[in-house]
Amino acid sequence: MRTSTKVKAAAVAGAAMTAVLIPLGGTSYAAGCNSTGCDNKGPMTMDCSDQYTTTTRTVNNNNRIGELRWSSTCDAAWVRVYNESSNPVYNASGYIEKYNSSGTLLKSLSVSVPSSGNDWSNMLGGASYQYRICIKFQGNEYPLKCSTKF
């Protein structure tokens, strides 16, 4: 009987230690950056594109689409772009711009609009800033189109 009690005690202790080492399902983890620390970092790499990410603005320039994406997890924004045109002849880029409270442009990042699928820029961060996105064609075939600031 004594051996059985020792075995049971060891099994319970082992199970308790294992339970401590295994994370619970649904346990959150910290993103890889926050606020201005996200500047010029990838939203996927930094785990900023999650269920708390929203599209706050959309721009359509001749069926080249730009979406201003905002991560409340990281307090950062980026532009996601895709092409809904059947004519991929003209090259376009999506831009995200970061402004201070005085309206001064601080930083801008761009990404080329792919002929199919989607792509995104790196992020610009900080909840106290304003952001807008633009779609620009390389040869200026179509006028520059930008969103309002967010």
- pLDDT band at residue 7 using 50, 70 and 90 as cut-offs: very low
What integer pLDDT is reported at residue 121 of this predicted model?
Answer: 98
How many structural domains compose the chain? Answer: 1
Residue 59 lies in a domain: yes
Q: What is the pTM of this model?
A: 0.77
Residue 27 lies in a domain: no
- The CATH number of residue 128's host domain is 2.60.40
Give Cα separations from 61 to 20, 84, 112, 135 (angstroms). Answer: 53, 10, 13, 6
Residue 30 lies in a domain: no
How many C-beta atoms lie closer than 10 Å to residue 127's C-beta? 13
Residue 15 lies in a domain: no
Distance in angstroms (rounded) separating the CA atoms of residues 45 and 76: 13
- pLDDT band at residue 2 using 50, 70 and 90 as cut-offs: low
Instruction: Give residue-wise pLDDT tens across range 30-77.
Output: 689 999 999 999 999 999 998 889 999 999 999 999 999 999 999 999
Residue 90 lies in a domain: yes
Residue 58 lies in a domain: yes
Distance in angstroms (rounded) separating the CA atoms of residues 96 and 124: 8
Give the domain range for residue 66. 35-146
Instruction: Give residue-wise pLDDT tens across range 80-119.
Output: 999 999 876 678 999 999 999 999 999 999 999 998 889 9
Structure tokens belonging to residue 84: 């809904």
Distance in angstroms (rounded) separating the CA atoms of residues 48 and 35: 11
Residue 24 lies in a domain: no
When the pLDDT of each residue in the chain is averaged and rounded to a whole number, the result is 85
Kind and range of the H or E run holding 7: helix 2-21
Instruction: Give residue-wise pLDDT tens across range 53-62.
Output: 999 999 999 9
User: How many Cα atoms sit within 13 Å of 145 on the Cβ side?
Assistant: 16
